[in-house]
Amino acid sequence: MIWSWFPLVAIVHMACVVAAGVAVVRNRNGLASILAAMSVLVLSVFVGGIWIDMGRPPLRTYGETRLAYALGLGVLSLSAHRLLRQSWTLLYGGAMAGLFVALTWAIPESHSRALMPALRSPWFVPHVTVYLLGYAAATATSIAALLNLRKPAIDGRKLDALLSVTIVLLSCGLLFGALWAKEAWGSYWTWDPKETWAFLTWACYVGVLHHRRSHPGQELAGCRILTVAWVVLMLAWFAVGYLPGGANSVHVYTR
Amino acid sequence: MGSVPAALLSLGAVAFHAVVSQVAPQWHPFGWTSFGVSVAAVLLNLVAATALRIRDRRWSASWFLVHAGLMVAIASAMMGSMAAVRGKVFLNAGQATAQVVSAKGDRIAYLPFGLMLQEFQLEESAPPLTLVDTSAREIVFRAGEPVFELQAGARGTLRGIEFEVVRYLAHAELDHDTIRAATDTFCPPAALLKYGTGGVWREGWITCGGIGIPTITQPAGSVRLAMAMPPAKNFRSVVTILEMGSKPEEAVIEVNRGLSRDGWTLQQLDYDKAAGRASRISVLEAVRDPFAMWVKVGICLTLAGIVAFAVSEWRRSA
């Protein structure tokens, strides 16, 4: 199984990420981009390999989604770096991707080729991929907001652009999920715990968008809500199963 | 109140309701068991906010599509929740039924056609190897340990126990003291393992047990090697649709591939899990929601609006 190579992949990935961080600190942005791209390449090859090896999209367990999230973070931070020419995007993307790769290594999981019938749908890959990219964008937005709480570090227009990407991805994830649910269970929406928390996350980020548009002078309030929104996002992703009512969620596939 | 504060208020209201429902136990005195009230409030706020925006002529195409789409979807979903008929259809092999039983079992609706279960089909993945402690009657397989699928030729090492699958039977039965291939496809799988612990090699059959054969495990040190139940891969009902004045028609209803007919949507929901492949029962979810199509229209409008919003934001930031 290709999964047995994961420790080696994790070490190479983290080495690339750390080296990219050092290059950013030393203002060698070209080298930093190459190293960040290498970390993304290593993870892409590994994720592609386990997809082929397991014969199913590696997006079922928490560990698998953490890896896909780390990959999404890498891709987004590289794209953002190319567009915004801001070196912090590489630092952020690398640090978060490294953290999530390390978490996947630290929390062992058994990886089975089996995929339950409900997940065998054409909606599975787009729904989860869009969500993980949305989570990556949301994390970037919230971290940018957190940085701005200390001192204005990120230009307001750039924060708006990140927020827009987050909302577009989270909205698509929510709506794809509704369309899939209709096909699988006959209902677009059932207020399942996972759905409710996904809605809460979306509501937080959409709320900030509305607030920023209506109160352009009140940057700090929006930044504070964005910081809280990230906590809601993490709860929606990892903690739903542990909340009252969460045990009955049809979205917990790791039991 | 301005349109944006109205939108914020409605988002906050439903978010608060959602938080309460997720972190506090639900009981009737508070009336917080249903989202109907807050969703209606959201819809009203959305209508009010949209009306204010339109009055002030402060709207773009993307804004209009997103908000109109949300309104159409929420209003249709609300009307659908009032008008829809939903329930379960319990199919027994060889018997016809048109009954749709509500979730509480207190109401019965009827499909305009009958359904007869011809066959229930269950596809299974290869069964995984696991470790059990028979004295404690529990599976002692730990998270992080490799999962080995039992197929002919498969080999590996699990918690220091080396093994190889010498022979695999997709359907096995017990013939006195020997295990042989069964012709009955409802019989469970079995695997002949060659395994070694501490330099001692043994051979023995393992099976999860079922029709024609009990569960068999093999001792390996302090634990026993066992076969877990094969996980379900897909399941479907092959049904005959019986309708007055029409020829009987065959149809297949499987997970993620429902059947729509005469305003009803039928989805494959469940089966007799204890019987597995031998299940003679299939449970379908039946829904008749005249507004479902409009919900989809609303979702598509919203998606179009989101794409337009992404494009406009991209141009703005560029």
A218 and chain B in contact, CB less than 8 A: no
Question: How far apart are alpha carbons A89 and A76 in whole angstroms?
Answer: 9
Mean pLDDT of A123-152: 88
Measured between alpha carbons, how far is A239 from A195 in angstroms, rounded to an integer? 13
Which chain B residues are closer than 8 Å to A183 by Cβ? Answer: 256-258, 267
User: Measured between CB atoms, which of A3, A184, A196 is closest to B267?
Assistant: A184
By the CB < 8 Å criterion, does A199 face chain B?
A: yes
* pLDDT on residue B18: 64
Q: Tell me if B125 and A121 make a contact (CB, 8 A cut-off).
A: no
Residue A236 makes CB contacts below 8 A (sequence gap 6+) with: A194, A197, A198, A200, A201
A252 in reach of chain B (CB within 8 A): no
Tell me whether A6 touches chain B (CB under 8 Å): no
- Do residues B189 and B206 touch, judged by C-beta distance below 8 A? no
Contact A121 B145 (CB under 8 A): no
When mean pLDDT is compared across A151-160, B82-91, B153-162, B245-254, the lowest value belongs to A151-160
Please state, rounded to an integer, the average pLDDT across all residues of chain B: 85
**Structure confidence at residue B118 (pLDDT):** 95
ipTM over 0.90: no
B95's tokens: 């018997």
Question: How far, CA to CA in Å, does B311 sit from each of A32, A161, A203?
Answer: 29, 11, 21
A240 vs A136: which has the higher pLDDT? A136
Q: How far is CA B100 from CA B113, B118, B249, B295, in A?
A: 11, 19, 20, 23
- For residues A160 and A247, which has the higher predicted lDDT (pLDDT)? A160
Residue B119 has pLDDT above 90, yes or no: yes
Do the strands B232-242 and B108-124 form a parallel or antiparallel pair, or are they unpaired? Answer: antiparallel
Q: Are B121 and B282 in contact (CB under 8 A)?
A: no
Confidence check: pLDDT of A154 > 60: yes
Confidence of residue B30 (pLDDT cuts 50, 70, 90): very low
The reply to whether A117 touches chain B by the CB within 8 Å rule is yes
CA angle B160, B162, B164 (to 5 degrees): 155
Residue among B117, B125, B123 at smallest CA distance from B277: B123
pTM for the whole structure: 0.81
pLDDT digits (tens, 9 = 90+) for B274-315: 888 889 999 999 999 999 899 999 999 999 999 998 888 877
Better-predicted residue by pLDDT, B56 or A181: A181
Contact B256 A121 (CB under 8 A): yes
Question: Is residue A53 pLDDT above 80, yes or no?
Answer: yes
The half-sphere exposure of B143 on its side-chain side, counting CA atoms within 13 A, is 11
Residue B128 has pLDDT above 90, yes or no: yes
CA angle B315, B317, B318 (to 5 degrees): 60
Asked if residues A56 and A115 have their Cβ atoms less than 8 Å apart, the reply is yes
For residue B88, the SS3 value is strand
User: What residues in B contact A204, CB-CB < 8 Å?
Assistant: 15
Average pLDDT over residues A195-222: 85
> What does the buried/exposed string (b/e) look like for B138-159 if buried means 16 or more CB atoms within 10 Å of the residue's CB?
eeebeeebbbbbbeeebeeebb
**Rounded average pLDDT over A97-111:** 90
- Residue A178 is nearest to which of B18, B299, B309, comparing CB atoms? B299
Cβ pair A243:B302 closer than 8 A: no
- Residue to test with chain A: of B86, B147, B265, B316, most A Cβ within 10 A: B147
What backbone torsions phi and psi does residue B234 show, to the nearest 5 degrees? -160, 150
pLDDT at A71: 93
Nearest to B8 among A182, A186, A207 (CB): A207
Q: Name the DSSP letter for residue B133.
A: E
Contact A118 B25 (CB under 8 A): no
Read off the tokens for A142.
């919230």
Task: Give the minimum alpha-carbon distance from B37 to chain A in angstroms, rounded to a whole number.
Answer: 14
Structure-block tokens of residue B272: 């007799």
Contact assignment for B21 to A196 by CB distance below 8 Å: yes
Supply the pLDDT for residue A195: 87
Task: Check residue A255 and give its pLDDT.
Answer: 45
CB contact under 8 A, A164 and B309: yes
d(CA A62, CA A68): 10
Angle at Cα A92 formed by Cα A90 and Cα A97, nearest 5°? 95
**B87 has a pLDDT exceeding 90:** yes
Q: What is the pLDDT of residues B198-238, one digit of tens each?
A: 778 999 999 999 888 999 999 988 889 999 999 999 999 99
| Helix/strand/coil for A118 | helix
* Main-chain phi, psi angles of B202, to 5 degrees: -135, 170
Query: Quick one: pLDDT band at residue B27, thresholds 50, 70, 90?
Result: very low
Mean pLDDT score, B148-172: 92
Cβ distance A203 to B313 less than 8 Å, yes or no, reads no
Return the number of other C-beta atoms located less than 10 Å from residue B58's C-beta. 12
Pairing of strands B190-197, B85-92: unpaired
Average pLDDT over residues B163-187: 91
Closest approach of B23 to chain A, Cα-based (Å): 6
**d(C-alpha B273, C-alpha B230), whole Å:** 12
A157 interfaces chain B, CB cutoff of 8 Å: yes
Helix axes B61-83, B292-317, angle to 10 degrees: 160
Quote the pLDDT of residue B236.
Answer: 95
Higher pLDDT, A185 or A132: A132
Q: Output the pLDDT for position B29.
A: 43
Q: Measure Cα distances from B34 to A190, A191, B26, B78 in Å.
A: 11, 9, 10, 12
Residue B32 pLDDT exceeds 60 = no
Report pLDDT for A155: 77
The answer to whether A114 contacts chain B (CB < 8 Å) is: yes
> Do A168 and B310 count as a contact with CB atoms less than 8 A apart?
yes
Distances (CA, A) of B68 to A168, A202, A223: 17, 18, 28
Instruction: State whether A179 and B12 contact (CB < 8 Å).
Output: no
Closest-CA distance, B176 to chain A, in angstroms, reads: 34
- Which of A25-39, A71-85, B269-283 bottoms out in mean pLDDT, i.e. has the lowest? A71-85
Among residues of chain B, what percentage have pLDDT more than 70? 86
Report CA B29 to chain centroid distance, whole Å.
32
CB B60 within 8 A of CB B300: no
| pLDDT the model gives residue B39 | 64
